[in-house]
Amino acid sequence: MEIKIINALPEHVRQIREISESLKFNQEKPKCEALITVLREREYTERTRLSKYFYVAVEGQIVLGFLMAFDDKTYEELLRRGLFHHEEIVPFLNNNEKPFVYWESFGVANNKQRAGVGKALINRLLEDGINDDKKIIHAMIRHEPYKNNASINFTKQFGFQYSGIDVPSEEYTHGIYQKTL
Ligand SMILES: CC(C)(COP(=O)(O)OP(=O)(O)OC[C@H]1O[C@@H](n2cnc3c(N)ncnc32)[C@H](O)[C@@H]1OP(=O)(O)O)[C@@H](O)C(=O)NCCC(=O)NCCS
């Protein structure tokens, strides 16, 4: 069956959460390629409603992976409504040139990785960002305690560069990566 990249809808949220849970960083079994944040159902659902830069890769009804991003207007709305939790990057985003896109999360189901699903998702984000005249995409990638090298390798291939800025939170430090569109 054909794999399609489409906008994420509320009906995809359950599967997006399941994939995120399965990829979650586990302190007891630390793995470099892992997600830190799994949001609550309502937080994903609101992002599907507010953002046109939140995509899923689907094969029929099955979600294989997702890429969740939003522009500065959606960021401000989420912040205002207490639905944005990465406080450590707020000062950085608030002082940034607009219009930007913030790439918040990204994951492909374990048994579907290394098959080009992530590549199809990022290509869609880049295409839409360019068509909509966005200036820049910002992303945070974990540097400490375990550097997410898979993600760094991935984003570099699509033209993202390390900004030289690290943002620490209580348990982790993330580096900010950027791509000018
Ligand atoms: C990062 C992730 C989304 C990539 O998705 P994917 O569908 O496997 O990626 P693709 O198959 O499109 O890979 C494209 C290229 O990225 C690079 N890449 C992908 N996974 C990699 C890995 N584990 N290690 C090193 N490079 C990797 C490779 O260069 C790959 O090309 P190749 O397979 O021809 O060598 C996926 O590995 C994932 O879900 N990881 C766990 C969650 C995570 O870390 N999310 C990001 C948090 S910042």
Nearest partner of 38 among 105, 89, 87, judged by Cα: 105
User: What separation in Å is there between the alpha carbon of 151 and the centre of ligand 1?
Assistant: 6
Residues of the chain where predicted confidence (pLDDT) is lower than 70: 30-32
Is this prediction's pTM over 0.75? yes
Q: Which residue puts its alpha carbon closest to atom 35 of ligand 1?
A: 114
User: What separation in Å is there between the alpha carbon of 57 and the centre of ligand 1?
Assistant: 14
- Per the structure, how many domains does the chain have? 1
Count of residues for the chain? 181
User: What separation in Å is there between the alpha carbon of 77 and the centre of ligand 1?
Assistant: 30
pLDDT on residue 14: 98
What domain range is 128 assigned to? 3-180
pLDDT on residue 26: 75
Residue 120: CATH number of its domain: 3.40.630.30
pLDDT on residue 32: 67
pLDDT on residue 30: 65
> How does DSSP assign 97-141, residue by residue?
-SSEEEEEEEEE-GGGTTSSHHHHHHHHHHHHHHHTT--EEEEEE
Strand order in the sheet with 54-59: 3-7, 54-59, 62-71, 100-108, 136-144, 173-180, 161-168
Q: Which residue puts its alpha carbon closest to atom 48 of ligand 1?
A: 141
pLDDT on residue 149: 93
- Burial (CB < 10 A; 0-12, 13-18, 19+), residue 69, is buried
pLDDT on residue 115: 95
pLDDT on residue 79: 96
